[in-house]
Amino acid sequence: MPAEPVAPPAVTDDDPGGRTVRRLVAVVAVIAVLPALYLRGLNHKFLDLKIYMSAVDWWRAGHPLYDYVQPDRVQGELYFTYPPFSALLLWPFGLLRLGATVTIFTVLTVLAVALTTRWLVLPVIARHGLPRTFTLILAVLLVLAVESTRETITFGQINMLLVVLILADLLFAVPQARRWAGVGVGLATALKLFPGIFIVYLLATRRWRAAAVASATAAAATLLAAAIAPSDSWRFWTHELWTTDRVGRTDIVGNQSLFGLLSRFTAPEKPDRLLWLLVVAAVAGYGLWRAARAARAGDLLTGLTLTGLVGSLASPITWTHHIYWFVPAVVLLADAALSADRPDEVRRRRWLAGLALGITPVIVYGVVTFQDWGSAAVRTRDPVDFVVQNAYVLISLLLLATLPVRSSRRRPVEHPQPEKSRQMDGSPQ
């Protein structure tokens, strides 16, 4: 007699209907949370972008660019603090209405989030056979939920545009030895100085030509600005660059750098500069050493992520919207956890997954969005203050020490070239 057929369970791992419902629920849940996360940030009212454009209008009227000042309740006074090359690129936006400029910056930032997240996540999807469309959508939504992204959008910052230049250079142009390798890092450095740490990374990894191209590009952009605005350029490079007070108070919690951590111990006084330099030297030396080792092992994403974390820690002022580098760090942790699939790697898998799951809610909730730290000097008075006020600094230090370097044996799928990304369309849905 033929065996009696057994009815399949109502929902199984092979049930496409059940999978679709679960994925839709996950996506809708994240979408539903986003407005609540962004609501507080709307109080910023694109403040930074308004300062940029007001300073450019002031400059267009014939005034010295770095004389522009705007009163602020917390910081006292706010100025235009970027290099003159940034002011040149902002100049055309002065011809537009502010609302149009805000819209352009917001749309470009969201597109940059989608593009860079795609670059980070596609190789992980291909390596582990993850559902392509669902994973990409969920990843983009989660990156939009992270506090650094929210602050970038609601302040009207340009950070994500710099990230596009850096990732395009270091994930694609440099490893492929393109002629223009280094141009992206050089342009980003000319715009905002912080990306200069990636020129140091190129030197540490012996990418001599790319480092030279990056340096030459930054120098050429700076000289172009000097030719057009010589007095403002001279003033910036000889005076304003070295006046950190123009950027803002170093003790406020929004400054998540090592100098900010030390400042919160000594506020309202500034911390000892020698102590800070010694701490930065030790942290930067260790972090760049690990970054160079990762690059030599072929793990370029880990190398540049560690470098970004070093830059965030070493800079005197690192606002929360500067710390994009937690995003690739979480992707790397998730990838490494999924790769730890041997029976003897259960503990490692749990550790990596736990670290990723522990960091994610912290960088989504953030350190400034839902807390009013007031306008008075911020002092660290006890261990709880130390952890709460320096959450990003502590996570950055933890990641410098623990971010795994992925073995090339376990990374058979390399980062897709931007122009070849359509080849990935056959991945599982």
Tell me the three state secondary structure of residue 403. coil
Whether the CA torsion 103, 196, 318, 224 is positive or negative: it is: negative
Region 54-78: mean pLDDT is 87
pLDDT of residue 15: 61
Q: What percent of the chain has pLDDT over 90?
A: 71
Given pLDDT bands bounded at 50, 70 and 90, which one contains residue 23? confident
Tell me the three state secondary structure of residue 14. coil
Contact 145, 32 (CB under 8 A): no
pLDDT, the chain, mean: 88
Residue with tokens 């937690």: 326
pLDDT of residue 4: 45
pLDDT of residue 346: 81
Contact 380, 271 (CB under 8 A): no
pLDDT of residue 31: 84
Burial 50-73 (b: 16+ CB within 10 A, else e): bbbbbbbebbeeeeebbebeeeee
Task: Give tens-digit pLDDT for 155-196.
Answer: 999 999 999 999 999 999 999 999 999 999 999 999 999 999
